[in-house]
Structure formats: C-alpha cells, structure tokens
Amino acid sequence: MIQVHVFRKGQEATDIPVADLSQVRTEPRTLVWVDLVSATPQELAAMGEEFQLHPMALASCAPGAKQRPRVEEYEGQVLLVAYASKPVGEGQPVDLHELDVITGQNFLLTFHGGHPIEAAAVARRVTARPELAKHGAGFLLYVVLDEVVDTFFPTLDQIGERIEDLEEAVFEAAGDVQSQIFSLRRDLIAIRRVAGPMRDAVIVLLRRDLGLLTRESQRYLQDIYDHMVRVVESVEDYQDLASGALEASLAVISNRVGTVARNLGAYAAIFAVVTMISGIYGMNFAHMPELEWRFGYAWALGLMVVLAGGLWVYFKRKGWL
Amino acid sequence: MIQVHVFRKGQEATDIPVADLSQVRTEPRTLVWVDLVSATPQELAAMGEEFQLHPMALASCAPGAKQRPRVEEYEGQVLLVAYASKPVGEGQPVDLHELDVITGQNFLLTFHGGHPIEAAAVARRVTARPELAKHGAGFLLYVVLDEVVDTFFPTLDQIGERIEDLEEAVFEAAGDVQSQIFSLRRDLIAIRRVAGPMRDAVIVLLRRDLGLLTRESQRYLQDIYDHMVRVVESVEDYQDLASGALEASLAVISNRVGTVARNLGAYAAIFAVVTMISGIYGMNFAHMPELEWRFGYAWALGLMVVLAGGLWVYFKRKGWL
Amino acid sequence: MIQVHVFRKGQEATDIPVADLSQVRTEPRTLVWVDLVSATPQELAAMGEEFQLHPMALASCAPGAKQRPRVEEYEGQVLLVAYASKPVGEGQPVDLHELDVITGQNFLLTFHGGHPIEAAAVARRVTARPELAKHGAGFLLYVVLDEVVDTFFPTLDQIGERIEDLEEAVFEAAGDVQSQIFSLRRDLIAIRRVAGPMRDAVIVLLRRDLGLLTRESQRYLQDIYDHMVRVVESVEDYQDLASGALEASLAVISNRVGTVARNLGAYAAIFAVVTMISGIYGMNFAHMPELEWRFGYAWALGLMVVLAGGLWVYFKRKGWL
Amino acid sequence: MIQVHVFRKGQEATDIPVADLSQVRTEPRTLVWVDLVSATPQELAAMGEEFQLHPMALASCAPGAKQRPRVEEYEGQVLLVAYASKPVGEGQPVDLHELDVITGQNFLLTFHGGHPIEAAAVARRVTARPELAKHGAGFLLYVVLDEVVDTFFPTLDQIGERIEDLEEAVFEAAGDVQSQIFSLRRDLIAIRRVAGPMRDAVIVLLRRDLGLLTRESQRYLQDIYDHMVRVVESVEDYQDLASGALEASLAVISNRVGTVARNLGAYAAIFAVVTMISGIYGMNFAHMPELEWRFGYAWALGLMVVLAGGLWVYFKRKGWL
Amino acid sequence: MIQVHVFRKGQEATDIPVADLSQVRTEPRTLVWVDLVSATPQELAAMGEEFQLHPMALASCAPGAKQRPRVEEYEGQVLLVAYASKPVGEGQPVDLHELDVITGQNFLLTFHGGHPIEAAAVARRVTARPELAKHGAGFLLYVVLDEVVDTFFPTLDQIGERIEDLEEAVFEAAGDVQSQIFSLRRDLIAIRRVAGPMRDAVIVLLRRDLGLLTRESQRYLQDIYDHMVRVVESVEDYQDLASGALEASLAVISNRVGTVARNLGAYAAIFAVVTMISGIYGMNFAHMPELEWRFGYAWALGLMVVLAGGLWVYFKRKGWL
C-alpha cells in the first residue's frame, strides 16, 4: 500500500495520486513523503523508477529482508535501515519492526510491514514548522527518525517495570524468577542488537558529509543521537541489573536452602529427644524403677515436654527456628 | 526563581534587577552569574532574549528534561549538562540532580530544580581571587563545575561506608545482605551513568578549542577532569568490590549450609545410636539375658551415655561439631 | 581434482581442458574459475605456473594447512582464506571447511577439501548477469564469497534451535543440560574463531585499495560484510544466551534442591509425629491409663491421623508440599 | 623537613644549607635533589620561590593531597605524581605512599610523607656514574623513579605468596578463605588503581617531548616503563587467579556439601535398618515365632550386624563412605 | 658456552673460533649466528665488543633477567626478547624459556639458559635455501623465530588434551577436577603473558621500518605473526573452555547434591513407613485386635512389604530413585 504525503507551505496534502508525483516534486519548497506498507514488487519497481533509486538500495527495502540497522549512500540518496519498537502484552517477547528509509533532495520514502510510527504525528510536526522546510528532506528525516527512536522508550519503561517486579520476586522468592530473568535477557539482547547499530547509523549521518543534511539539520539529529545513546545505555544498565538479579537470586536461594536445613535440623532434634525418651521407657528390663512409679507416665511425658521445650527455646534463641 | 550575582572588582552584588542586566553586561571586567531554580517558561524566554541563547540550548535547560551530561557549542556559547549529588538517608537510593549551564563571553547561567550547590560558596571563591576575572566566564565555569563535582565525594564516601558494612555483614552472615548489595549496585549504575558522560564532557571542554576558555582556565579545568576521573574510578572500584562481596556471600552461604549439614549429621548419628540401643532392649524376645540383670537398666543407660559421648568426642575432634 | 569453469557472454563452459587455459584467458570479457578439490602438489604447481602465483600464496592453499581467515596481497593478486560451514547431525560438533581463494585480474581459483559450496549455484548466478562481467574477477569473488558466507546461516539456525531446546530443558530440568551447554559453547567458540577474522578479511577487501575491485564490486562486498557482521553478532548473542542458560540452570538446580529439602522436611515431620505417638504408647509404665481404655488403640490411631493430617494441611498451606 | 643533596663530579654533598641553593644551582654539571618530608607550608613556599614553581604544581605537592598518578608540564618543569609501596605485616592492607616529584633543568624535588625510597641508594647510584650527569635532571629522575617502581616488587611477591597459600587453603578447605580472597582483591584493586595511571604517566614522559629528557634518558625510562607494565600485568594475573580461587572455592564447598550429604545418607540408612529390625521384634503380637526361639535374641542381633555390615560394604564400594 | 655457526654459500661451518669472527664477518654473503648458553659476564662482554652492542641491549640478554617479550632498536641493531615452550610431564606447570636475540646487518646472536630450540634444525633450514642469504640476517631471524614460535604448538596440544580429559572428568564427576582446572588456568595465564607481548613484538618487526628487514623477509615474518595470533587465540579459547568447564562442574555438583538429596529422601520415607508400622504394633494397649490374630505378625510384615514396595515403585516412577 502506498500513501503519499506532500508538504507545501505548512499544509499537508494526502490526496496526490502516485502518478502526479513526478510533477509535484519539481515544485519549489515542497517535500514529498511516500509511506509504503508491505510494498509489493510492483510498487517497489514503480518507486525505483520514479525516484531513480539504486537497485541495491531498493533490494534492501523489500519486505522480509531483516537487515542490520545501517546507513548507506547512493549518489545523492541515503538509505537508512532502522527499527521501531512497540509495547507488548505480558509474557510476550519484545516487538521490533524494521523500517527502511530512503531520502533524496526533497523526498523521503519509508518502507515497513505495519505501522511502527504514527503518520499523523509526523505530518503534524512537519506542518507545524513550515520555516524548516528549507532544510529539505533532512528535516523530514529528523521528524521520522525522532518518532522511530521515541518508540523505544515505552518498551524500555515496560522493561524497567519488569525488572522492578523481578527484584521483588527475587527477594520474596515468589514465582518463576529464573525463567523470567532469562526471557528478559533475551529481550534485552534483541533490543541491544538493533539499538547499537542504529546509534552508529545516526552518528554516520552526523559525521559523514552526506550532502543532504544542512548544518542545522545535523544539530537536530544530534538530539536523536543523544536519545539513541540513552536507549543503548538503558539496555546496558538493564542488562547489568538483570544479571545482578540472577546472581542475587542464586544467593537468595542458597540462603533459603540453608535456612530450611537449619530449620529441619532443629525440629529433627526436638523429635529425636522425645523419641529417645519413649524408646528408653519402652525397653523391657525387669528392673526399671520408673516404670513402677505412681506417676511414672506423667514423669516421662513431663520430661519430654521439658526437654523438647528447652530445645525449642534454645534453637529459637540461636536463630535456627 | 531567578537570582542574579554580579562580580565586579572582587565584589559581589546580588541586588541587580533582571531588567538592568543588559546594561551591567557591557561594563568591562564584570562577570554575571544568573541562577535559575525551576525556571518557568517565561523566565526561560526572558533569558533567551537577554543573552541571545539558541532555542535548542534553551530547550535543554527546561526543568524535567532529564538529559545525558554533555557539552554542546552554539555560536560563541557553550551548553553543559551536568549532575550533582547529595548524601541521602539510610536505605534511600542515591540522589542525583541535573544542573544545566550555559556560558558566554562574560556570563554564566545555571538551571536546576533545587540547590545542588551552595551559591555562597561559589561567590566566596570568585570574589577571593579578583585577578582571575580576566579569564572571563571560564573562571566562573571552573568554580561552578568544581563545586558540582565535589558534591560527588560525600556520596562516594557514604557508599564506601556501606560497602564496609556489607563486607562485615557478609562474613558475619548478618541481615539481608543480598538485597543491600543489589540496591548498592543500582546506585553505582546510576552514578556511573552520569559520571562517565560528565568526565567525557569535561574532556571536551579541555580538548576542543571552544574560544571561551583561556589556556590558564583550561589548566584549572584539568583539575576538575582529574576529580571526575577519580569519581568514575571509585565507582568502578566499588562495583568490583560489590560483585566481589556478592560472590563471597555466595561462598559464605554455601559454606554455612555445609557446616549445618555436618552438624546435623553428627547429632543425628548420636541420637540414632541411643535410639538403636533402646530399640534393641525394647524387643520382646523371651530369652534376652540383659533384661533379667539386676542392673540391666543401668547398663543400657550407661551404654547409651558411653556411645553417645564417644561419638560426640569423635565428631568434636573431626571438627564436625 | 581440477574443474574449470569459463564464463563468456553469459554462457558457462566447463569442458575447457587445463591446457587451453593460457589461451582462453587472453580473450576479452572472459572470466575463468578454477575449482581445485584436495589439490595434489602437481596440480598446485601447474596452477602456480599458469597463473604466476606467489610461492607463499600457493603454500597457503595446500590441503591441510589449517589457517586463520585473512586477506593477503601479492603483486596484482589477492589471497583470501575463508571458511564455510555445513549443518550437522544431532550431537556432532560444528562442521567448518577451509576454502582458499586466489583472485587475479580475470580469474579466480578456489582450493578446498570437499564441496563447501555448490558450483552450480555460483555458475547460475554468474551467467544470470552477464553485464556484471565487466567488473572482472571482483564480481566472481563476490558470488563465491556470498555463497560461502551464506553457508553459515543454516548452521546458526541449527544452533538457535539447540538453544531453544536447551532453555526448555533447563526449566523442565530435563536431561543432561550442562554437557549440552558445554558442547554448544565449544561450537560457538569454533565458529567465532573463523567468523571474526573472516569479517575482518572482508573489511580489508572493502577498505584497502586492492586494484582488483571496482567501486561497484565493493558495493556488493559491503553486503557480504553486513552478512558476516550478522554471523558474528549472532554468535555473540548465542554465547550470551548460552551462558545465561547455564546460570539459569544453576539457579534452577539450587531451587530444586531447596524444594526437595523442604519437601523431605515436611514428610519427615509428619512421620516423626506418628512415630512419637507410637513410641509414647509403647512405653512400659505400669500405670498408663490410656492403655486400659476400651478404645485406647483407636484413640492412638486417631491421634496419629489427626496430627499427621493437620501437619499435612499446614505444610500444604505454607507451600512446602 | 628538607634534605638537600648536591651531586658534583661524582661526589655527593648533603651539608649545603637551603640558603645556598640559589648559588649552587648556577654551577655547571651540578645536580640538586631536594627531598621534603611532610613539607610545611613555609617550606613549600620557600621552594616555590627558589625554583619558581607554578602555584598549581606546588599545590599538588602539599601533604595529604591524595592524587591520581599523572604527569603535568609547567613551562620547563615537570610534575610527576607517583606512588611507592611497602611490604606489610600479615593481615594488613597493602601500603601505598604518594610521592610527588617536580623536575627542572638541573634540579629535582621530591615531596612525601615518610621514606618510601632510600635516599642513600639514590645517592649511591647517581655518584656511581658521573658521566651521566650530562643528561641533567633526567638521569636523576630515572634513578628516583626506578627506586620507586622497584618498591612494588616485594609487595607483589608477598601477594604471590598469599595467593599460593590461598590455593592450598581452598583445596584443603582450611580456614577463612573467602574473606582472605576478598581482602586480597581489595589490595589488588588498590594497587591497580595507582599502577595503571603510573604506567600511563611514564609513557607520557617517554612519548611527549618534554624538553627535559635527552634521548638517552628516554631509553632508560623505557626500562622503567617495562617494569610498570610488568607490575600492572602481575596485578591483572593475580586478579584472575584470585577470582579463579574464589570460583574454585565455591566448587570445592559445593563438592564437600555433596560428600557430607552422601555420607550422612549412608549412615542414616545403616541405622535405619537396625532400627527397623528392633522395631519389628518390639511388636507385641501374640504369635511371633522368633520371640520364643532359644537364640532369637542372638538371631536378631546377628541380623542387625549382617544387614548393617552389608550396607556398609555396599556404600563403601559405591564410594559413598 | 658459545657456539658459532657461519653460513656461507649454503654451507654451515661450526668450527670457527670466536677470535676469527671479526674477520669472517667482513666476507660478503656470509651470515654469522652465535648461540650463547647461560653466557658468563666475560662472554657477554666479548660479544659486546665484537659486535658493538649497546650496553642496555647487552644487559637485557644477561641470564636470569626475566623480561617481557619486546622489540627494541639500537642504532642498526634490533633486540628481541622472546620465549619458547616445552611439553612437560603430567601435573607439572607449563615450561617457558626466555630466549633473547640481537640481530645486526649480517649476524644474529641468541642468548638463553638451555636449548629451547634445536640448532641443527635452524642450520638445516638456512643451508637449504642459500638464495635467501641475500636477505641478510632478516632471513636468519625468520628461521630462528619460526622455530621458537613452533615450540608453543606441542604445549598447546597438551593443554587441549588436558581440557578434553577435564571435560570428561567434569561430567563423570571423577577426581579432583577443580584443582586441575585451577592449575590449567594458571598455565594459560602464564602462556598468555608471554604470547601476547610476543605477538605485539612480531608486529613491531613487521610494521616499523627497522632497516634490517627486506620486504621479502617481512612477508615471511607475516607468517610468524599469523602463528603467534593463533597461539594467542588458542589460549583465549582454552581460557573460555576452562571457565566453561568450571561453571559446568559447579552445575554438575549442584545437580548431584540434588540427586543425592532426592535419593536419601525416598529411602528415608520407605524406612519411615516400616518403622511407623512396627511402632504402632509395639504399642502396649490392652485392646489391640491385630495382636491376637493368628497371622497378625504376618499381616504386619506383609503390610510393611506392601507399603515399602509401593513407595519404592512410586519413587522409581517419579524418578527419585
């Protein structure tokens, strides 16, 4: 599906047919954004012809390519492979969508398989500042990238909450902590794997002179770079916290095993004392004075209670119970 | 809230109204420091106009922005995002305050949400050395940054004490060591996250020729750089010690479980011996000579005492008790 | 065994005898690929003479040399040592084949011990795009390398499945998890050891001006570089997951030991209570009122059932059973 | 306390009063070494004036400053902050002394709080090779630094011995291994923290053209650099060994817990068999043939011995005892 | 002990007295190799004079110096400190021998304490290719270094076998695995400590223009560099495998403890059931119908067998036995 957005003098037009693009693009101070959802080979070919895209750039934008985030330059055009994220339901793996961007002098194409970013939000921001249109597609690229990068923060917030829940679970020994930590780490590895190269791609946009970006556009991209660095650093922090949580969980479990062992030992000792006394008075010796006592039975029971109680108090004080 | 400090010939004036700033700034050998606490949008706008600040620099200084420490240059002005720390009560997470600084030729603006540094201390140091005023706002920047960086040391000392307490707790098996180590690590990650970029920001101030800093100012900043490196290295050392403490705690716990197991085993054996004897003499065989003995009962009890006592001594020697 | 493939005008000829190579090579727009399987010293010498190969380059291509992947330049020729992989049966170590390549202006020689890549696939791709023949052997090198690099993905997919199986096994405590993780790590180390240097070798081809590669060929090689980076990153991710799985397995085992200990403790307590009661009523006191009761026996059994049942319910609620 | 050493023509003079320094320094081929122990502010000021030291260099040399090792250049003078070590008694933390050095054309000042190096040894080496005096203070700096760096080796040897003792203790399960490993790691962190920056400081002396050092002096400093690298590498090796020892200790402890558990289990089974038999013959059935047997009691005891002995042999063979 | 080898026109002469060296060295196309075993100070001094060696280079070659591998350049001469290895008997630490090399225009001196490499092998290879003599001592250096580096491979093979044995031991829980892993790690650290700097030394020979090496010699040294890289990478791989083995061993031990605990628990339950029944029928109630039964005893024994057997089957199915 192809959706064309044309920005002119702070106005957005979305009703331009693809066929008119060639003509619209020649108008001054006009920016064209073409958004392709699950583009068919025909649509890709049409775009390739219209915007004179390099075959390898176009191949990278085909649905299902699953590539590493990166920047590539093709005579006057720039290909950017990026990823956006979406919050997910509990227990589901992190959700990462590839979004490929090709930018030329006054146009920007996005290729993706769903709607990782909101087209309306992009349009609102672009139309809100018509004076920035003079920076050409660089400004459009900034807005799109900013929306893409911002999709990571809700996901990171979710992960932050998962870690907080995990920490409580670790110290309260609740639930299935280990497998949760494991799937958390999986998610963090998945995010790091796209976020790291995306940060590097943004720095390539910033550092290399790609011709497309004015100095002012680069200043805005600096902001995106800072956001990406924060994403990467947050992932690293969460990774540290997750392995800290696993280590702590190991210690907590060991601790608990120790506590249980001490506990059991104490109760075993108490029962053993009672059993010992009953064993003694269960012996069949002909001459056992206590057996003939009037209150022998009471004596035995009393002895049991006193010894068991004494041990109980002793262990309580020693902290074993 | 806006507080203006004007330094002239080793004197500080704090009663200059904001409206007079434009005029004051034109006087030679005068340094202006404007300290904004939780600046309102109006105050930000006023400053932006007065000092001709770049919109993106100003946006970075708005309250609640929560940014990574960094240095940015805007035609003749420098934006520095830094953090200060404050000691906290026991059991509370580490306290980090963002403090944004914009410096121009002869002025310095600070934006923050509370009072991370003492304005009086800054004023005292600036007025104490009027001859350094010739280095312009570079000297003011040095004093402010030095105060900011020095706020980290009490926090680090606190952490050092926490680690020492933890070590004792680990080897005395006292209290809730694991969760304390975990929250310690959290705090260290939080500090590292601001301290590392701050160190890098100071080195940018040192290395890049920003026009604002004289060679002598840079020599002073070198000192701040050394302090930041010490902060970062201390955090790393503490991180090493914290994970060392956790590993040691794991070993200590395992050790203790082993000790308890040995202990229990020894006592179980002692009781088992007594139970065995009482069991034997509790059997109902028609012909059991001991049962008819005059002192059979005493013999049985004696046997119990001797065997149990013997085992006790044996285990004591073997180190199991 | 020597197999000659000659590509001319989008046609492949495989029936050219080695003796005619000298003549064929002089024809314009002709690419020669000589594929040597377990080359004999005679065959190596013949190739060395025909293509004027450097003795050290030739020595590197002798079967059984077992070298690190790398690129070397010899006056106008390039030696590339690479590895290909093959999926293996369950329980077998990862399969890595050395494949050495020497490329000159319009020829390419491959040396290997088996058939790590499919010659037919290479031929198909080369003949499919006759227009690229103008890039000389650089294009041939791209196709061969692409086939080589792509052999890693089925192996990585196999490993991905092994890790997924392992994760389930870890949390279901099924089978011999530790030794499987260990052999997985061994395989990952083996792949990393060839993949890392191969990635570096490709970047040498890309960066250094080797004279053989046109700018367009390099663009294609960029694609191979991205694939190699993905291989290396996947290996690293799998290494992270494997050690995460081992750590999780440690925690899971500890957890289970704790559960078993709690379990045993609870049942031991239940039995101990029954034993205690039977012990008490097994004592031989002359005066034990219960013994004379009409329903004394029932009382004792009832007491046992009630106490044991009570404990059972108690432990069930506490989560120990 | 100030101690002046003047080296002239292979002779050392230590009786020069501070007041004569200005004059002595003008003599050719004369090297002046001023050694300040816990310098008072007055002494510092006097030196500052005499040798025209930069205020910041002087501030760095004040007692109690506790700085990171580093090199700084001040118009024609070099400040070097270094540390020396001293062997310590058993159980004490590693001992590190700051020693600050300022070197000019033909003089060298050392500032410290005790006697980290032996002045006599320095004097002996300087007077032994009068021909090297032509290299000026560079040679003096080499001798002092060499003495300083060599103080680390006895400390490292001590640590090497501690690690060897620890290893034995780990595998013999003797003593309080964990806390010893922990304090060892603390010491290693402390040494690494000064040794790393010292190595970097020496490389700054070597690489940067500081004007003070002749090419020949730099060759000698190369030797000191190699020593510092060895110190740092030894610390890293010891850190690896220490964490290896802790991990091994964890495994050893776990192993021992397992052994104890097996042991206990075996003995418990043996006792349980005896108890079971005595329990059976303690039942009060009216018709139990064995009870009436002539040698019933002996039969029961024999059964116990045979079963218990059989189990004992069985467990012994299985390796559980 | 001094052994002189003179290579002329593909011939080796070993009977040249030291006194004739000065004259022999002036002959064209002649290479001189002097091999010093445990050189005495007199021998060192004689060499120093004959070949005009720098005092510091000579000092580095004195026996017992124990230095880091490195390359140093002294006016037209190169000092190389290297190490060779030797396979050792079982249970012994890895064997590393220092070997110092000084090379000049047409001579090469080796200093060592034993015979880390075979002189005959060196001679054979040098005489085998007389045409390479034109590369001067560079070729000699290549041959010596190649022999030195190749001594590492048998040692690495030994270590590879130790690791394979260890892995089996880990999973079969045989022997004293932990201390073996520990000593393995010690050996690996020792090798890494010399192999890393040796690799760096070879790269210095390759990169820096030392005047001694022709372009062709450098190509050969490239080969040695690849070997050293393989040594270092093998050590790293083995380190990974060793720590993997230790971690696996921890998991295996924990697993076994868990198995033993389950085992014990199951048997304890079986015995407890038998004990419970005998306890019940050992009670002394006046009215216990079973006691009067004709086959009461058989009933009790039968009950024991049925319950114990049932539990045994139950636990067997549950996998606890």
What residues in B contact A170, CB-CB < 8 Å? 182
Amino acid identity of residue C160, one-letter, is G
D220 in E contact zone (CB under 8 Å): yes
E226 vs C301: CB contact, 8 Å cut-off? no
Q: Which residues contact B319 (CB under 8 A, 6 or more apart)?
A: none
DSSP single-letter state for residue C93: P
- Using CB atoms, pick whichever of B68, B260, B292 lies closest to residue A230: B68
Question: Which of B283, B291, B303, B307 would you mutate first to test chain D, the one with the most D CBs within 10 A?
Answer: B283
Within chain A, which residues score under 70 in pLDDT? Answer: 133, 173-175, 209-211
Strand, helix or coil for residue D64: coil
- Tokens 């060759």 belong to D219
- Identity of the amino acid at D295: F
**Rounded to whole angstroms, how far apart are CA atoms A264 and D137?**
74
Q: Is the pLDDT of residue B132 over 80?
A: no
Shortest Cα–Cα distance, E279 to chain C (Å) = 5
Q: Test B274 with A269 for CB contact under 8 angstroms.
A: no
Inter-chain Cβ pairs, chain A and chain B, closer than 8 A: 121
Q: A271 — contact with chain C (CB < 8 Å)? A: yes
Closest alpha carbon to C280 in B276, D280, B282: B282
| A114 C-beta neighbours (distance < 10 Å), count | 12
Nearest-5° Cα angle at B128, B123 to B132: 95
Nearest to C257 among E219, E245, E257 (CB): E257
Where helices occur in chain A by DSSP H, the ranges are: 21-24, 41-51, 55-60, 119-128, 137-150, 152-172, 177-207, 215-280, 289-292, 296-318
Q: State the complex-level ipTM.
A: 0.75
pTM: 0.81
- D158 pLDDT band (50/70/90 cuts)? very high
Report angle CA D78, D84, D86 to the nearest 5 degrees: 165
- The residues, ordered by sequence, that sit 6+ positions from B61 with a Cβ below 8 Å of its Cβ are B36, B39, B44, B79, B100, B102, B109, B111
Question: What residue of E is the nearest CA neighbor of D283?
Answer: E282
Which range among B30-44, B214-228, E152-166 shows the weakest confidence by mean pLDDT? B214-228
* Partner residue opposite A258 with nearest CB, options B178, B185, B256: B256
Specify the residue for token string 């506990």: A263
Contact at CB, B68 and A233, closer than 8 angstroms? yes
Partners of D68 on chain B (C-beta within 8 Å) are 226, 229-230, 233
Distance CA(C261)–CA(E264), nearest Å, equals: 10
State phi, psi for B261 to the nearest 5 degrees.
-60, -45
Residue C231 reports pLDDT greater than 90: yes
Half-sphere exposure of E205 (CA within 13 A, CB side): 36
The list of chain E residues with pLDDT below 50 reads none
Residue of E nearest to D243 (CA): E182
- D172 CB within 8 Å of a chain B CB: no
- Please tell me if residue D253 touches chain B, with a CB cutoff of 8 Å: yes
Mean pLDDT to the nearest integer, C245-261: 81
* Tokens linked to C99: 């494949």
In chain B, pLDDT over 90 holds for what percent of residues?
34
| Band of residue C309 on the pLDDT scale cut at 50, 70, 90 | very high
B and D: number of Cβ contacts within 8 A: 121
CA–CA–CA angle C288, C290, C291 (5° rounding): 70
Taking the Cβ of residue E296 and every Cβ of chain D, the question of whether any pair is shorter than 8 Å is answered with: yes
- Which of A72, A271, A291 is nearest residue C286 as measured by Cβ atoms? A291
User: Residue C69's pLDDT is what?
Assistant: 92
Q: Tell me: pLDDT of D212 over 90.
A: no
CB contact under 8 A, E257 and D258: yes
Contact C226 A283 (CB under 8 A): no
Q: Which residues of C touch E219 (CB under 8 A)?
A: 56
At residue E84, the pLDDT reads 94
Decide if D75 touches B, using CB distance below 8 A. Answer: no
pLDDT tens-digit map of B239-254: 999 988 888 888 888 8
Q: Which residues of E touch C68 (CB under 8 A)?
A: 226, 229-230, 233
Comparison of pLDDT for E213 and D21, the residue scoring more: D21
In angstroms and rounded to an integer, the radius of gyration of the C-alpha atoms of chain B is 35
Q: Which residues of B touch A269 (CB under 8 A)?
A: 267, 271
D263 touches chain B (CB under 8 A): yes
* E80, E205 Cβ separation under 8 angstroms: yes
pLDDT computed for residue B209 by the predictor = 67
Query: Which one of A54, A198, A274, A290 makes the best mutation probe of the C interface by having the most chain C beta carbons within 10 Å?
Result: A274
Q: Which residue of E has its CA nearest to D320?
A: E260
Report the gap between the CA of B272 and the closest CA in chain D (Å). Answer: 7
Summarize the confidence of residues C166-178 as an average pLDDT: 78
C24 Cα to chain E: minimum distance (Å): 32
Instruction: Look at residues B80, B53, B57, B111 and name the one whose alpha carbon lies nearest to residue B206.
Output: B80
At residue A173, the pLDDT reads: 65
Residue D233 contacts B, CB cutoff 8 Å: no
Report the C-alpha gap between A133 and A12 in whole angstroms.
Answer: 12
The CA–CA distances, whole Å, from A142 to A6, A81, A135, A154, B72 equal 16, 14, 10, 20, 19
B105 near B141, Cβ under 8 Å?
A: no
User: What is the pLDDT, as a whole number, of residue E82?
Assistant: 94
Q: What is the structure's pLDDT at B28?
A: 80
Mean pLDDT of all residues belonging to chain D: 87
CB contacts, 8 Å: B170 with chain D: 182
At residue C304, the pLDDT reads 93
Q: Which residues contact E302 (CB under 8 A, 6 or more apart)?
A: none
- Which of A237, A258, A289 is nearest residue B253 as measured by Cβ atoms? A258
Instruction: Tell me the C-alpha distance between A29 and A9, whole Å.
Output: 7
